[in-house]
Amino acid sequence: MGFLLPTFDEATERRFDVWRASRLNDALLAPVAIGGLAMFSFLAWDWLLDPTQFLACLLIRGTGTIIMMACAWKLLRTRATPLQLRWLGMLAVSAGTVSIALTQFLLQDGFLYGPAGLALFPTVSAVVVTRARQVPLLNLPGFAVVVALLLLKGVEGFALFNVIAFVGTGVFASGILALALERTARYGFQLELRLEEQAHIDPLTGIANRRRLEQEARDEVERARRFNRPLSLMIMDLDHFKGVNDRYGHPFGDKVLRTLADLGRANLRQTDLFARVGGEEFVVLMPETTAEAAAQLGERLRGLLAATPINDGEHVVTVTVSAGIAAHGPDAPTMEALMAMADKALYEAKAQGRDRVVIGPGGVG
């Protein structure tokens, strides 16, 4: 937990940046466009303060408006990455701040009567960053220009302090607002991650479900094909499971399923994906694994399950499992082909008497 903010691992932090940038991209179009158009509302103030500089102020504000509208157009036409969004935000905020600062530089007593306007765009910068810590960096160009113009104008004393205080207050307020917005966004992202995880987890056993298997299997098959790396898939099916349910009841059957899932979690490698894909059917996806090595893992699980009494307080039962294995190759180039070959090997294991592991064509039994 960071300062008031939930934190994630490095890879998830990058996902958060992309996730938030996509939402800010949609939300920023209207504020940036409206901010650009609002620049013209200050023209009345320019005229009242110094009519002789009105045309120059019109040119400055018009240029700022064009830059901000160009940023809005970019947001409308493209899906900005986090880095692109940061640069667009910096450009839009700087255009607004610099335009106001330049008009105040031209107008008589502009910095004396109009410092509040310099706090406007720094405050708005809170809604254009994915991270609150980016607020000072986003406002740095505009702040630098304001300071330079103050020095050129010869502003000093209270007037100098007043302008800098207004700009600093705008940046500070923006940082506080950005922190609150980021905190809300992180909790929303955290909830989305939990929902995403639940959508890929089998609720009974707590291991992966078919949806997650299908997603990861396609990626692993493509990686094995591209880099010519070994990949094996094993389908496991509990023997006589219907009889277990009929004789001991479904709660006991659920305990059997959880027992196999627990054994898999404890004995498979971190790189292996263990999933429940049907009632009593499980699949193990094993990257960087030959069929023979997969068979060894299968034999270990088969032996452990057969040697593990399942006790619900009323019954003590041992169950067995049969498994079929397929290896990625010319005979099984796709995830569907791997599943089909492993399924055939599983049926062969059942036909040979169950409680055994069989490798499909192309391997050694």
* Greatest extent of the chain over all pairs of C-alpha atoms, in Å: 100
Q: Given 10, 214, 280, 299, which residue is catalytic?
A: 280
Domain membership of residue 312 (yes or no) is: yes
Say whether both 331 and 223 belong to one domain: yes
Residues 77 and 131 in one domain: yes
280 a catalytic residue: yes
pLDDT at residue 118, rounded to an integer: 85
Question: Which residues lie below 8 Å from residue 62, measured CB to CB, with a gap of 6+?
Answer: 40
Is 319 contained in some domain?
yes
Radius of gyration of the chain (CA): 32
Whether residue 242 is found in the same domain as residue 144: no
Contact 69, 36 (CB under 8 A): yes
Residue 40 pairs in a beta bridge with none
Q: Verify that 188 and 237 share a domain, yes or no.
A: no
Structure tokens at 157: 């004393």
State residue 4's pLDDT score: 64
The answer to whether 106 and 56 are in contact (CB under 8 A) is: yes
> Dihedral through CA 335, CA 341, CA 346, CA 347, nearest 10?
130
Please tell me whether residues 126 and 95 are part of one structural domain. yes
Q: Can you give the pTM of this predicted structure?
A: 0.61
| CA distance linking residue 270 with residue 119, whole number of Å | 53
Q: What's the total number of domains in the chain?
A: 2
**Which helix or strand (DSSP H or E) is residue 187 part of?**
helix 157-199
Residues 189 and 258 in one domain: no
Report yes or no on 282 lying in a domain.
yes
Range of the domain at 47: 10-199
Same domain assignment for residues 14 and 47: yes
Q: Is the pLDDT of residue 363 over 60?
A: no
Q: E strand or H helix at 286, and its extent?
A: strand 281-287
User: Do 242 and 333 lie in a common domain?
Assistant: yes
Question: Domain holding 318: CATH number?
Answer: 3.30.70.270
Looking at 180, 199, 218, the residue that finishes a domain is 199
Alpha carbon distances (Å) from 178 to 19, 122, 141, 171: 16, 11, 19, 10
For tokens 């630098």, name the residue.
Answer: 144
User: To which residue do tokens 């005979």 refer?
Assistant: 331
Does residue 365 form part of some domain? Answer: no
- Give the integer Cα–Cα distance in Å for 363 and 108: 88
**Residue pLDDT, tens place only, 287-322:** 999 999 999 999 999 999 999 999 988 889 999 999
Angle (nearest 5°) at CA 84 between 82 and 88: 115
Same domain, 249 and 192: no
**Cα 96 to Cα 32: distance, rounded to the nearest angstrom:** 10
In a domain, 41, yes or no: yes
Same domain, 340 and 216: yes
Q: Do 312 and 163 have their domain in common? A: no
Q: Tell me: the pLDDT tens digits for 148-171?
A: 999 999 988 888 999 999 999 999
Residue 182 falls within a domain, yes or no? yes
Q: Which residue has the higher pLDDT, 192 or 318?
A: 318
Which residues fall within 8 angstroms of residue 310, CB to CB, at 6 or more apart? 252, 255, 256, 259, 316, 317, 318, 319
**Structural contact between residues 288 and 323, judged by C-beta atoms closer than 8 angstroms:** no
Q: How many CB atoms lie within 10 A of CB 250?
A: 10
Specify if 57 maps to a domain: yes
Matching residue, tokens 């004789």: 247
Position 29 confidence tier, pLDDT thresholds 50, 70, 90:
confident
- Statement to judge: residues 177 and 243 lie in one domain: no
Q: What does the DSSP assignment read for 142-181?
A: HHHHHHHHHHHHT--HHHHHHHHHHHHHHHHHHHHHHHHH
Residue 4 forms part of a structural domain: no
> How confident is the model over 57-71, as pLDDT tens digits?
999 999 999 998 888
Distances (CA, A) of 147 to 140, 155, 175: 11, 10, 20
Choosing from 176, 199, 222, the residue where a domain stops is 199
End of a domain among 177, 199, 221?
A: 199
